[in-house]
Structure formats: structure tokens, C-alpha cells
Structure 1
Amino acid sequence: MSLRIEPKEMAEVLIKVRKMALAQDMSIKLGKSLLMSGDLYPSDIVPVLAPNKYGNMALFPMSWGFSHKATPKLIANCRVETADTKVMWRDSWYRRRCVIPASWYYEWGYPVYENDNHSLIEHQNNKKVKFAIQNESSDITYIAGLYRYEEHGSMKVPMFAILTREAAGTVRDIHDRMPLILDKENVKKWVRPNGDPSAIVEKALSNMVFEKAVEYPRFPPETITA
């Protein structure tokens, strides 16, 4: 899975986050760009909604992916079914929840045909296709996540992971998992530290629209403006 943030749709957010001292420090410490738009991948710095010290929703830069001593790869996703029990996720599930606003997300799946009567084996004989998937009723797709702070050198860096669930609706035609996607009304409830995450999960959106993804070039940061 990867994310897409369209600069024009989220210009105000991008401008605000790029100016933050935390974002500047993270960029230097992690050696990562503050582009934060276009196609985004694990290890990138991303604009994220999370509670501030007063418990109110605010905007922060965060790095995508939890680290773990058992693997050199970042752990970018967390299954919602086990988030409240697994040691890596449990504390964040109850105390540190966040939302990643994106234009859409990408997933690889098998081609979908109109009036499809292809068997699963026939689908699997085809080459996978990259799909762009988004909330059907909004320009912004609000993706639920968890976050924590990790020591990187002398700095505590906020890191997030995306919650995934069993695919629902039309997404089931192309993949067996999908992000946990919230409607705008539940974003603040999810982020609130004393909220009930299990209750909000029950209200997750399932109606998505998708199309074959367009491959965009990844321009150097200095050529991009919000």
C-alpha cells in the first residue's frame, strides 16, 4: 500500500506542516524530504492528525512505519483485529490514535472486468494492476492509524502505522485487505485520547471507488509547490 496526497487539494495542510520546527528537525535527523505530497511510501514524513497536549485534534508531521528489532523493514500496517491485544500496538490503540488525510491510496490487485465471470484462477494468471482507491463521497480519504514515539539518535520521532481491516464493498474485487477509513464526523472522535476505538471501528466506511492508477513522476522537492 502507498498513499497519494494531491498538492492542490491539501495545500493549506502542507504549507502549515512544512513550516513546523518538528518537521524541520525530523527532516534533518531522518534524512527525509519535507515534500509530503504526491506518492508517499513507508519511511516518508506525512501530515497526520493527532491530539495535542490538551487532547484536541491538531496537525503534526509523522514518519510512516514502526520499527522493530526483529526486522530491518518498517512495519507500516497494523491489523485492526489484533490491535488491542498485540504488544506492539496495544498501548497506541488505547492511548495514541491518529488519522492520515490523503487524496487516495494505492493497492495492487487483479484486473476487474465488467460483468466479470472469470474464475479466481483466471484472475491470478493475470498480472496485477495498481489501483487508486478513495472514499466515494469526499475529496479527502481519512485513514485511521496508530502512533508512538521512537528514539532516533537524540530525538523522539513520532511514527505512525495504518490500521487495516478485511476488505469490504467493491474493494473485495481487487484485494483482501483495506485501510480503516473514517467519515469526517468520526475523525475527531477517533483522535480523542479518551474515545472508544472499538465503537468507531464499527462505523468505518466501506463504499470506495477505484480506477487503474496513473503513474506520476516523483519530482525533486524543490520543483514542487503546495
Structure 2
Amino acid sequence: MCMSLRIEPREMAEVLKKIRKMNLAQDMSIKLGKSLIMSGDLYPSDIAPVLAPNKYGNVAIFPMAWGFTYKATTKPLANCRVETADKKALWRDSWYRRRCIIPASWYYEWGYPVYEDDSRSMIEHRNTKKVKFTIQTEGSDRTYIAGLYRYEEHCDMQVPVFSVLTRESAGIVKDIHDRMPVILDKNNIQEWIRPDGDPSAIVEKALSNMVFERAVDYPRFPPETITA
């Protein structure tokens, strides 16, 4: 599960400046009516900076809208379960040919509070009111979230859209939620986005060494946002 994420603007300042000047980003912003801030707290349907292969097969940064369109719902499909990505028609082609990485400072999750020396039963634990957490890769200021992408027709243009891959929770994340994004090490990015790579083998390398804390409420777009 991943319904919002955070990009600290100062950590990706140069990347954000570059991507905002792209013709594709400008066209998406105008035709979709979306902001090109691409930092602060991001939600489904927002435009985000995404790593994907360029025409030479190398890692490059692109603007993409968050969420696949599906006729059965008016909401963008922000997440895709990794267990069925190679089976369902909606995801299958992207699973094998169009994989991407969403670089974030952390992601947010609503989960169950954790207490030291917790003697509650599992039922009592699951009946506790959920709270919002920030979760990120241990020992790193960047969390690389694996995703799938494709192109969709919107407003008379081909718009690149992505969805976050999710898996069963591992490590300490299991204490607060039963799902988590597929998160990869920086060294696996190139291998993941290669169209001829083996996604199943790379998912086996997904990280579980996360750290979390209760979330702080930040402004939607932080005042230090860099827009130049």
C-alpha cells in the first residue's frame, strides 16, 4: 500500500529544475491542469519525477502522472500487487516491458501504533485507531520505489503514467501494516528498468530494512520549494 509519498525539494533540486523545463512536463501540466512542483507531499494523479529507460536503455528522469486509468473506477490505480502483476491484463505488458523507479525521501502509511512491551492480543492491536507513519530505507535519505508505467491518451496527448508495486510487508513494517511498496537498492535500478531484465528475480532483492516514525504534518507544497 502506498497512497502518498514525500520528496524533499532540496534533496532533488537539480533534478526538479531540469525536469520542469522539459516540453513533455510543460505539456502535461497545461493539458492535465496539474502542478509541476513535484516535491513536498505527492498523491495519486499528481505529476512526479520518475526514473525510466531513455531510447538508449539508460536511466533517465521523466515526468509521469501517478496512477493507471481503469474503466471500472474513476480513481487512478495508484498501486499494483506484485503477486499478480504478471497475470492481470492491466499490468502484464508493463511488468515485462515498462518498469520504473520512483525516487522519494519517504512514503506515508496509515498503520497501527506500536508500543514497547505490548501485551495486547492481535485482535486488540488491529482494533487500535490507525496513525500516520513516515517510512524510508534505513541509513539512506533516498527510497527507491519500484513501479510500472505505460502511456495513456489524455487530453489529445500520450501521457506517461505509473503505478507503485506493492508486496507483503517485511521487517518492522509488518508491525504497522500488511503491505508495503517494493523498494530496491540503488544498485538494482539499472537492472530493474531494463526492458529485457527479469523482474521476478529483481523483486527477490527487495529491501526490508526500513525505519519508521509517526508522521509530521507538512504543508502540501513546502515553502522552501524550488521552482526555477
TM-score normalised by L of structure 2 = 0.96
2:203 to 196, 201, 204: 201
Structure 1 residue 114, shift from structure 2 partner: 1.3
Q: Percent same amino acid at aligned positions?
A: 78
Structure 1 residue 137, shift from structure 2 partner: 2.4
Q: Deviations over 1:194-218 (max 9, x none)?
A: 1111110000000100000000112
Structure 1 residue 219, shift from structure 2 partner: 3.6
Task: Give the 5 Å matches for 1:90-169.
Answer: 90-169=92-171
2:49 to 40, 47, 66: 47
1:29 to 21, 31, 35: 31
User: Aligned equivalents of 2:10 and 2:97: distance in 1?
Assistant: 33
User: Aligned equivalents of 1:153 and 1:129: distance in 2?
Assistant: 38
2:5 to 3, 6, 16: 3
Per mean C-alpha deviation after superposition, the further-off stretch among 114-123 and 16-25 is 114-123
User: Aligned equivalents of 2:179 and 2:188: distance in 1?
Assistant: 21
Provide the secondary structure at the position in 2 that maps to 1:171. Answer: helix
Opposite residue 78 of structure 2, the aligned amino acid is A
Provide the secondary structure at the position in 2 that maps to 1:122. Answer: helix
Structure 1 residue 116, shift from structure 2 partner: 2.0
Q: Would the aligned equivalents of 2:37 and 2:221 in 1 still touch at CA under 8 Å?
A: no
Structure 1 residue 8, shift from structure 2 partner: 1.0
User: Aligned equivalents of 1:145 and 1:220: distance in 2?
Assistant: 25
Per mean C-alpha deviation after superposition, the further-off stretch among 30-39 and 13-22 is 13-22
CA RMSD of aligned residues (A): 1.3
Task: Give the 5 Å matches for 1:164-175.
Answer: 164-175=166-177
- The number of aligned residues is 225
User: Aligned equivalents of 2:16 and 2:118: distance in 1?
Assistant: 41
Q: Would the aligned equivalents of 2:41 and 2:221 in 1 still touch at CA under 8 Å?
A: no
TM-score normalised by L of structure 1 = 0.96
Structure 1 residue 220, shift from structure 2 partner: 8.1
Provide the secondary structure at the position in 2 that maps to 1:149. Answer: strand
User: Aligned equivalents of 1:84 and 1:191: distance in 2?
Assistant: 16
Structure 1 residue 54, shift from structure 2 partner: 1.4
Provide the secondary structure at the position in 2 that maps to 1:137. Answer: coil
In structure 2, do the counterparts of structure 1 residues 219 and 139 end up closer, same or farther at CA, with 3 Å as the change threshold? closer
**Mapped pair 1:210 → 2:212:** yes
User: Aligned equivalents of 1:167 and 1:132: distance in 2?
Assistant: 15
User: Aligned equivalents of 2:225 and 2:184: distance in 1?
Assistant: 29
1:191 to 190, 193, 196: 193
Provide the secondary structure at the position in 1 that maps to 2:117. Answer: coil
Structure 1 residue 120, shift from structure 2 partner: 2.1
**Mapped pair 1:38 → 2:10:** no
In structure 2, do the counterparts of structure 1 residues 8 and 2 end up closer, same or farther at CA, with 3 Å as the change threshold? same
Q: Would the aligned equivalents of 2:149 and 2:161 in 1 still touch at CA under 8 Å?
A: yes
Q: Would the aligned equivalents of 2:136 and 2:212 in 1 still touch at CA under 8 Å?
A: yes
Structure 1 residue 153, shift from structure 2 partner: 2.2
